[in-house]
């Protein structure tokens, strides 16, 4: 079973709304094979609590225009991680710190991603690393590299082709 056409329409609208409010790292997963309760997850990051709220408000407005109403909403008061459950899709808007800590991409890495337009996913913000789902497992390795803390250490060699 795959996500329904209506769920995919909602995913696209939610992703576009998040992008319009400058959310980062917008991804969508088809979780219909793994979960009976929903077809898709949309994940988006925001740099501060106010932006989380702005993204959530825009997603709700856009999906309301399509006739979708949230079944449940969690986390609105805290503004760090808001979950909006529309039944067919669930939208997670997370503060960047929560996104890194909870790493939902790792939990759902076996699920197919739903294609989103490049202008929605876009390149990462300047100075922000591209994080593919597998990279989340490797991030702890950087903490053990002495050359990152030692300003006199030689620069690492470039990767070989």
| Within a domain: 153 | no
| Within a domain: 73 | yes
pTM above 0.85, yes or no: no
For the chain, the first-to-last Cα distance in angstroms comes to 40
CA distances to 22, 24, 26, 94 from 123, rounded to whole Å, are: 12, 9, 10, 19
For residue range 8-29, list pLDDT tens digits in order.
999 999 999 999 999 999 999 9
| Within a domain: 157 | no
CA distances to 6, 29, 83 from 12, rounded to whole Å, are: 10, 12, 17
| Within a domain: 158 | no
For residue range 133-153, list pLDDT tens digits in order.
344 344 343 344 344 444 454
Report yes or no: 27 and 55 within 8 Å, Cβ to Cβ: no
**Calpha distance 135→71 (Å, rounded):** 33
**Tokens 């959310």, residue?**
23
| Within a domain: 54 | yes
Q: Predicted confidence band at 110 (pLDDT cuts at 50, 70, 90)? A: very high
Segments forming the whole domain that contains residue 24? 5-148
| Within a domain: 95 | yes
In sequence order, which residues have a C-beta less than 8 Å from that of residue 157 and are 6 or more positions away? none
**Strand arrangement of the beta sheet that strand 24-30 belongs to:** 24-30, 40-46, 89-95, 81-85, 72-74
Average pLDDT over residues 70-87: 92
| Within a domain: 110 | yes
In this structure, the chain runs to a length of: 161
| Within a domain: 159 | no
Number of domains in the chain: 1
């Amino acid at each position: 079973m795959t996500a329904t056409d209506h769920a995919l329409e909602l995913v696209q609208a939610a992703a576009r709304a998040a992008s319009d409010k400058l959310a980062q790292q917008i991804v969508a997963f088809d979780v219909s094979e793994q979960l009976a309760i929903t077809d898709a997850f949309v994940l988006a990051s925001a740099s501060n609590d106010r932006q989380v709220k702005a993204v959530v408000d825009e997603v709700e407005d856009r999906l309301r225009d399509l006739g979708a109403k949230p079944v449940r909403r969690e986390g609105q008061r805290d503004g760090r991680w808001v979950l909006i459950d529309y039944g067919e899709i669930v939208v997670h808007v997370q503060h960047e710190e929560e996104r890194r800590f909870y790493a939902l991409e790792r939990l759902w890495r076996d699920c197919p991603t739903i294609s989103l337009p490049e202008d929605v996913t876009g390149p990462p913000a300047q100075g922000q690393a591209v994080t593919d789902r597998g990279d989340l497992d490797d991030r702890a390795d950087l903490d053990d590299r002495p050359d990152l803390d030692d300003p006199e250490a030689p620069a690492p060699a470039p990767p070989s082709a």
